[in-house]
Amino acid sequence: MTRTKTVLISGGAGFIGTRLAKRIVGDYKVVLLDNLHPQVHANNAWPIDSPAEAVQLFGDVTEAAVWNAAISEHRPDVIVHLAAETGTGQSLTESYRHASVNVTGTARMLDALSASGHRPQAIVLASSRAVYGEGQWATASGELYYAAPRGEKQLVSGEWEPVGPDGEEGRSVAHNATSVEPRPTNVYAATKLAQEHILSSWCGSMNVPLRILRLQNVYGAGQALENSYTGVLTYFARQAIAGEPINVYEGGGIVRDFVHVDDVVSALSAALALPAAVGFCLVDIGSGSAGTLLDYAKELAQVAGSPAPEISERFRLGDVRAAYADIAPAQALLGYEPEVSFRDGVVGLLEWARIGAETA
Ligand SMILES: NC(=O)c1ccc[n+]([C@@H]2O[C@H](COP(=O)([O-])OP(=O)(O)OC[C@H]3O[C@@H](n4cnc5c(N)ncnc54)[C@H](O)[C@@H]3O)[C@@H](O)[C@H]2O)c1
Pocket of ligand 1 (CB under 6 A): 11, 13-17, 34-37, 40-41, 60-62, 82-86, 101, 105, 126, 128, 192, 215, 217-218, 224
Q: Class for domain 6-359, per CATH?
A: alpha beta
The dihedrals phi and psi of 100, each to the nearest 5 degrees, come to -60, -50
Please list, in sequence order, all residues whose beta carbon lies within 8 angstroms of the beta carbon of residue 231, skipping any fewer than 6 positions away: 219, 223, 224
Q: Poorest-confidence range of 103-117, 161-175, 190-204, 280-294?
A: 161-175
The predicted model gives 203-213 an average pLDDT of: 98
Higher per-residue confidence, 88 vs 262: 262
Q: Quote the mean pLDDT of the chain.
A: 95
Q: Which amino acid is at 334?
A: L
Q: Which amino acid is at 171?
A: R
Atom of ligand 1 nearest to the CA of 41: 37
The domain ranges of the chain are 6-359
Given phi > 0 = left and psi -120 to 50 = alpha, else beta, which region is 231?
left
pLDDT of 1 above 60: no
List pLDDT tens digits, range 6-46. Answer: 999 999 999 999 999 999 999 999 999 999 999 899 889 99
Kindly report the length of the chain: 360
Sign of CA dihedral 206, 195, 43, 29: negative
Distance 329 CA to ligand 1 centre (A): 24
Atom of ligand 1 nearest to the CA of 62: 31
DSSP 3-state of 335: coil
The dihedrals phi and psi of 335, each to the nearest 5 degrees, come to 65, 30
Select from 81, 86, 258 the residue to mutate for testing ligand 1; criterion: most ligand atoms less than 8 Å from CB: 86
pLDDT of 227 above 70: no
The dihedrals phi and psi of 30, each to the nearest 5 degrees, come to -115, 130
Select from 18, 34, 102 the residue to mutate for testing ligand 1; criterion: most ligand atoms less than 8 Å from CB: 34
pLDDT-based confidence at residue 228 (cuts at 50, 70, 90): low
Indicate the helix (H) or strand (E) that contains 18: helix 15-24
pLDDT-based confidence at residue 358 (cuts at 50, 70, 90): confident
